[in-house]
Structure 1
Amino acid sequence: MNLIKIISLFALASLLSACSLFYGEDGLIKDTSYDYLKAKETAPLKIPPHLKHENNVNYTVVPAIGEQAKNAPSGKDISLVAPAQILDVLDNIRANKQSPVPAIYIVENEEFLWDTIINLFTEQGVKFSRRDKANRVLETEWVAVDKRGVWLGIAGEDDIDEFKAKFRIALSEGILKDEKQITVERIAAQMFNDDTDKWQDMANYWHDSAEMLNLIIAHYDTATIERDRNSKNAVVAGFKVQLAHDDNNNAALVTETDKALVWEKLPKVLEALDFDVKDRDRRLMTYFIAYEYEEPGFFASLFDEEQTPLPLESGDYQVTVTTVGELTAIVFRDGQGTPLNAETMVKLYPQLNKLFSDKK
């Protein structure tokens, strides 16, 4: 038994010795992690005159090489920051990938968006150097930030310790109907130098602005949850609708109720009418639905529980929510998007009016 242990120890020692021969600083296979430091500088890329390269953004810092590397941090001394992504995960948000600064398109009430962005900064004690409501532009005073990013939080000027930054946030028209655009840009940044006891300027990179945009998206998401919670009582209470026309003179139902509340109430109404909600697009404010008429069963006729059939053929339909002045319009369409005629809407109206008014 002792002989087996001795043999095992010799084998292990031999294995370790072999590893050191093959790997490590003195081995045959050397560590190449920092070989880029020895690379020779090549000529910069030249773009042909007929081509343009306008959207140039710094997703992360590229280590310097050649002569420029002498006074620059290298190897393990480089603080690498992972590329940031815009978190356009909500169903009414999409990223504007053509913008030179981080930007999103969002389907939302403009006044609600403006107030939500204002609240994000005021709640943290951040002041504004520019607050232009007419042009929907905000510029902050110095904001206390963390070196690793604003995702760790922001604070007002009184809490500035080592790093600070200023941001510009602009709200403008989007591309689609009812769509707005939010752009964010970090316009200044400084860090405190303990050696000189002074503030020194820092570079502004794309990911710095993207992190602030993500913070705005997260705050907006929280604000909409609170808004939806407060509006549920209004949805449950129900509201009146009337037959009228939309801006394109299509037969429609109109109501004084806010568009967001109508959007929330619609699925309950549609399901009560035996529509199957297949999909929804918040940007287009459209529900995609299907209807299949079923003959009532024997017992339903016995107990007089037969529901009045809808004046519709089985198939796909759409329902869109738009605005008509200060009113909200609801337009029913066929599967190709053609609005239903006035005669059909008159037949649908009694059941729709009852269901929109129901307190449930």
Structure 2
Amino acid sequence: MKRLGLLLAISLPLSGCSWLFGEDGLFPDNASRYQTAPELAPIDVPPHLSTDAIQPDYPVPPVAESAQLATQFETPRPTPLTANNQADAVRIQSLSGERWALVNVAPGQLWPQVRGFLTTSGIGVAAVDAEAGLIDTQWFKLEDRELATRFRFRVDTGVQRNTAELHVLQQTRGVEDVDWPRESDDGDLERKMLQDVAQYLANSAESVPISMMADRSMSDSGRITLEDTEQETRIRLALPFDRAWASLVKGTEQADFVIDDRNRSEGVLYATFVGPQEEEDSGWFDWLWGGEDDHPLAGHRYQIHLDAESDDTMLITLRGVDGEVIERREQQALLTILRGNIT
């Protein structure tokens, strides 16, 4: 009897756990029951009672229908960041008496190249400001000049992504030392120095180091972006009006447009889109509109507007021939091509 009572005492605690916490116990484990739980109708709450206490903690928002183009989808070939690919590593550009070198490297890569040019040329460096992109040389004398001279090199972000600009400022030493002038004292010396540096950059384009300090200080994202607003698609260009206008005219001529007329005072170009001239350039349009025939927009006329948002930022928009709003995807496609040709 004692042995039987001991066995009963041992078995009661063991079976008690199942009786309390088992699947059919008083306190079942409901951690995974949601997987098989049926969906029930919402609780019907009388109108005079509040439903705040039974609202879901994490409501699932309704899924909006996405607008699809009415064409069969085909993965497009990527649009290059710069449509004309700019085969030249270095190009000297000028506008209204100002000159600069356009270099197809990021500002952080151009910076050590300029330092390398000065070292190779035996020109001493007096001051450096990586954040502002400035390198000032020491005063030195040239063989054909009586007075000493010095130069300031300014590395700036290019219009397109991963491009840079190099500006040169020259100063002739007078009786008293003065601050840097707004324009070079000797334009001929400035031009010759810019040409020499540009030639050095072109010759060393294959081996381009990177300055970590300059790379952190100067952006390589470019000064041109394509953005969508609720009303339209537009290009934002971080340039003053004079240079932005010149860049827009040149870019439009290279972007499969023919300029029919222009009104600089109003900031408007009147242009006809002629379409891609080579088969390899039509990947974007083949995907967007489908088909392999002539481009459906070829021969269409447009107004290209350049409007100032601020002194140093312009907005480029596209309108129909009479100034009317055109289809959004038409804006996106044509402005994408235009963006890649503005430098």
Per the normalisation by structure 1, the TM-score is 0.32
**Rg comparison, structure with higher value:** 2
Per the normalisation by structure 2, the TM-score is 0.33
Report which structure shows greater RCO (CA 8 Å, sep ≥6). Answer: 2
